[in-house]
Structure 1
Amino acid sequence: MTDVSINGVPHRPVPGSSVDGISPERLRTIVQDSHLSFLIGAGTPSSFFGLLGNVEDALTELSESTADDDVKTIVRASIQAYFFDSVLVPNVKVVDRHADAEGVLTSYAEFLRTVNRILLKRHSSILAKQASVFTTNVDLVFEVAMEQMGIDFSDGFSGKIRPRFDLGDFNTIRLRMASRFEQRSEMPVFNLVKLHGSVGWRQETRSPGRIDIIFDHGLTVVAEVQEALAAARDDLISIGEPAEVNAAALVAKASPGLASPAVHDFVAAYKKLGIVNPDKQKFATTVLNETYYELIRRFANEMEKENSVLFVHGFSFRDEHLRDVVLRAARANPTLQVIVFCYSRADRAEYQKLILDIDVKNSNVLFIVPAEPEEGIDELKATLDVVTRDYFAPIVADKFPAPDQRIELGIHISAGESADV
């Protein structure tokens, strides 16, 4: 096996991998000495949630359309209904730990358990035992998996009875003290930052001009939107497949005339969701919102720290705003390493169309692709399970692993069938 160089750092490829891999030794060095951050996108849980297709492009094109306002209202509501059905409603099964959600919850649990062990075993006296998970996803898979496993995490909410979003909750160091000798030990903590909001966020007006974000344990807003959507369903355009999310085609299908009161009720209910909508103009209205602005700034600040690493999975970089944030940090901070796990070998070419070499003067963006398959064997896809197993798990592989009840898998799935939602 021949040594190769990646970004100027020599390392030996993993057996059977291409030079586009990274060795456990090199990865161990990175995570041991760096501030750890992860950027998780819609591709990570796509096996459970519906595909969005070109929803973002369709909503953007619709906003620029010259169609009648009522037609645009119907089409926009139809696209939002598709997004709601595909991405938001399945969270009811996630929260209920329904058997259908077992696969995605177990994948996240394995990943979190592995990173938690990495943090636990990290010997640096300078770096806190923390990892920041930034995600554009609005689902609750991370929260449910972390809670089930007893992993300490900060999601920005403080309080028990009525948790309210508070940015000061992040970056909290947590210590455990032994009851007998009062020995203190730092515990691993994940900072979970939902860049585009969450299906579990409910906006409440506390006073004129002041809106609080409350954690919606029971997904009550989702239930309200679902009820409004049921009443408006017959007045909307059915979208069966991601490929059908086409603004011009949907405008042509829309019946002329006024949008029904039921459609307007659905639109009003949908606006109560604490999420950033999937269109290219999403930051035109939310970047001035203190919460979203602060979350994006926190993301940028984390990458500006000396000796930082950002692992990217399931994120396409088609979000121009976040892509610019990452590239700006990569140019300004030569000690930042951005490691992108490509789902397939072909995906690297797509990434490189968006992230040009000229934009990364420090050569600190690395694309990791699956090994080239042998003849007659299907290509391996870099799912979260594969990334956990092949890249992060070897870092903490113990010959005789000691039992650690706090961080062993503890996902409990309901065996019963729940009502369809």
Structure 2
Amino acid sequence: MNAHISPGDVYDKDLNFLFGSGASFGLLPTLALQIKKADGTAWSLEELATKFERERDTRYIPLFMHYYQGCIHPAQRFQVSGVVGNARSERVVSNYRRFLETVLQILQRRRALEQRCNVFTTNYDGCFPLVADEILRTGNIDFLLNDGARGFRRRYLQARNFNTYLCQVGVFGRHQVSIPQINLLHVHGSVYWAKDGENIRVDYETLPGAGLLTLEQQEKLAVFSAVLEDANATLDDLVAPAFSPAECDAFWASYTRLPIVNPTKWKFHETVFEEHYYQMLRMLSYELEKPNAVLITFGFSFADEHILNLVKRSLSNPHLQVFVCCFDRGVRETLQAKFQGFRNVQCLALDEGVMDFTAFNERVFLLDEAPPVAAGLPPAANDAAVPDVDGAPVGGAA
């Protein structure tokens, strides 16, 4: 069985991607913690936040201070130009660029009016739009990254904008040329969003200020954060920082206005963001119900139960094929258990090492063969095994 995702598998399909924080690993921090439970496994931020909220633990708000300072604020400050000189960060940006260029090459081989796909992401960062902007600046590739926003001085987000399509028409209207289009859907929000009345405004130009924590508060938080990142620590070692009730209240009031999903229950605090979240889930469901739909996930753990259950329901579509790209074989076992019984799911992992973004681009999703041109021909058969990738339908051998 061929576990490799080749262009021949997907070039003529209704193509969808779902990206999680693993894609930006090495450039931006993830939700992962190192502090251990009694059984020796690491707490996740979601688990610990839920526990602290349920028990009204005084460490609840400091935990979100750690989350904001370590995960959200770095995403707010991210600029592509800022990675120059940092080899690890440059590699992540290069991987985003390579992925987008691979997708665009696939789209360019399609028929007119079919040159588009959807990228759903739970990341708050601007890696996709900012890297896409860098590609467009070169002038070598003409495409549209559609983030769902429209406007001039102020751009506003509306779900209906993802249904638009751009094409070029000749001067005398004698020919029409499709522009490859990637729809970018931030299902968990974006650091570039802001509430504007009953609308969501999208702004990539306005840079954030100093953040929600002062330098003095960051210093107070440092010891607390160090324990969360200590693989030898337990909750008994985690002492709440000496923040006053006023400091906690002020931080929480600002934090809850951020346009992102709250990790405790995967909910937005603002109704306008909550409504958009469910619109994006409905759009994902709609796309996965299409004939010949394909979903490729990378860096995504399916911790969002709404998305997990939505994908499971969509798997009743016999024409849907889901490729779940797993960080390692242990993660693959976990995700295979989540999708047990579904024969149209393949969980992929490398035989050796981990599947980071570089491995995904170089060994799993790459243009190692030219797919058929868009002339009504069926995809070329590709039964060659890839020795360093292992995957199987979770419901048993195909």
Question: Fold-level match, TM-score > 0.5?
Answer: yes
Amino acid corresponding to residue 276 of structure 2 in structure 1: T
Paired position in structure 1 for 2:260: 275
What 5-or-longer segments of structure 1 have no aligned partner?
A: 5-12, 14-20, 373-378, 399-421
Q: Deviations over 1:144-188 (max 9, x none)?
A: 011111241111111131111111211321102344775211111
Residue pairs, 1:252-271, within 5 angstroms: 253-254=239-240, 259-271=244-256
- Checking the alignment, whether the CA contact within 8 Å between 2:148 and 2:159 is kept in structure 1 is yes
Q: Deviations over 1:107-126 (max 9, x none)?
A: 10100001001000124x6x
What's the % identity of the aligned pairs?
27
Paired position in structure 2 for 1:39: 18
Over 3 Å counting, the alpha-carbon distance change for 1:247 and 1:317 in structure 2 is: farther
User: Residue 90 of structure 1: SS of its match in structure 2?
Assistant: helix
Residue pairs, 1:342-357, within 5 angstroms: 342-357=326-341
* Structure 1 CA distance for aligned equivalents of residues 250 and 269 of structure 2: 24
Range moving further from structure 2, 43-52 or 228-237? 228-237
Aligned equivalent of 2:286, options 301, 323, 327: 301
Amino acid corresponding to residue 48 of structure 2 in structure 1: A
Task: Give the CA deviation at 1:355.
Answer: 2.0
* Structure 2 CA distance for aligned equivalents of residues 169 and 229 of structure 1: 39
Amino acid corresponding to residue 318 of structure 2 in structure 1: P
Paired position in structure 2 for 1:173: 165
Aligned equivalent of 1:366, options 323, 334, 346: 346
Residue pairs, 1:321-340, within 5 angstroms: 321-331=306-316, 333-340=317-324
Residue pairs, 1:175-254, within 5 angstroms: 175-179=167-171, 182-204=174-196, 206=197, 211-220=198-207, 222-223=208-209, 226-230=211-215, 232-233=217-218, 236=221, 238-240=224-226, 242-243=228-229, 249=235, 253-254=239-240
Over 3 Å counting, the alpha-carbon distance change for 1:255 and 1:383 in structure 2 is: closer
- Checking the alignment, whether the CA contact within 8 Å between 1:129 and 1:188 is kept in structure 2 is yes
Task: Give the CA deviation at 1:50.
Answer: 1.5
Paired position in structure 1 for 2:368: 394
Amino acid corresponding to residue 306 of structure 1 in structure 2: P
Q: Deviations over 1:225-274 (max 9, x none)?
A: x1544454355462126545999938962368x83323322222222211
Amino acid corresponding to residue 65 of structure 1 in structure 2: E
* Structure 2 CA distance for aligned equivalents of residues 245 and 216 of structure 1: 38
- Checking the alignment, whether the CA contact within 8 Å between 1:43 and 1:313 is kept in structure 2 is yes
Over 3 Å counting, the alpha-carbon distance change for 1:344 and 1:228 in structure 2 is: closer
Paired position in structure 1 for 2:139: none
- Checking the alignment, whether the CA contact within 8 Å between 1:81 and 1:229 is kept in structure 2 is no
- Checking the alignment, whether the CA contact within 8 Å between 1:61 and 1:247 is kept in structure 2 is no
- The TM-score, its normalising length taken from structure 1, stands at 0.75
Over 3 Å counting, the alpha-carbon distance change for 1:285 and 1:160 in structure 2 is: closer
Paired position in structure 1 for 2:386: none
- Checking the alignment, whether the CA contact within 8 Å between 1:87 and 1:139 is kept in structure 2 is no
Residue pairs, 1:12-31, within 5 angstroms: 13=2, 21-22=3-4, 24=6, 27-28=7-8, 30-31=9-10
* Structure 1 CA distance for aligned equivalents of residues 92 and 225 of structure 2: 25
Over 3 Å counting, the alpha-carbon distance change for 1:315 and 1:156 in structure 2 is: same
- Checking the alignment, whether the CA contact within 8 Å between 2:195 and 2:272 is kept in structure 1 is no
User: Residue 332 of structure 2: SS of its match in structure 1?
Assistant: helix
Amino acid corresponding to residue 259 of structure 2 in structure 1: G
- Checking the alignment, whether the CA contact within 8 Å between 2:189 and 2:273 is kept in structure 1 is no
Amino acid corresponding to residue 346 of structure 2 in structure 1: L
* Structure 2 CA distance for aligned equivalents of residues 286 and 322 of structure 1: 19
User: Residue 131 of structure 1: SS of its match in structure 2?
Assistant: strand
- Checking the alignment, whether the CA contact within 8 Å between 2:13 and 2:294 is kept in structure 1 is yes
Matched, 1:130 2:104: no
Paired position in structure 2 for 1:383: 356
Q: Deviations over 1:263-308 (max 9, x none)?
A: 3222222222111121235369869932111111111111111110
* Structure 2 CA distance for aligned equivalents of residues 219 and 246 of structure 1: 41
- Checking the alignment, whether the CA contact within 8 Å between 1:308 and 1:336 is kept in structure 2 is yes
- Checking the alignment, whether the CA contact within 8 Å between 1:104 and 1:141 is kept in structure 2 is no
Over 3 Å counting, the alpha-carbon distance change for 1:91 and 1:283 in structure 2 is: closer
Over 3 Å counting, the alpha-carbon distance change for 1:34 and 1:83 in structure 2 is: same
Task: Give the CA deviation at 1:193.
Answer: 0.4
- Checking the alignment, whether the CA contact within 8 Å between 1:82 and 1:239 is kept in structure 2 is yes
User: Residue 197 of structure 1: SS of its match in structure 2?
Assistant: coil
- The TM-score, its normalising length taken from structure 2, stands at 0.79
Q: Deviations over 1:191-246 (max 9, x none)?
A: 10001001111123x2xxxx3211133455x426x154445435546212654599
Over 3 Å counting, the alpha-carbon distance change for 1:250 and 1:170 in structure 2 is: farther
User: Residue 163 of structure 2: SS of its match in structure 1?
Assistant: coil
Paired position in structure 1 for 2:375: none
Considering only aligned residues, what root-mean-square deviation do their CA atoms show, in Å? Answer: 3.0
Amino acid corresponding to residue 56 of structure 1 in structure 2: E
Paired position in structure 2 for 1:60: 50
Paired position in structure 2 for 1:341: 325
Aligned length: 349
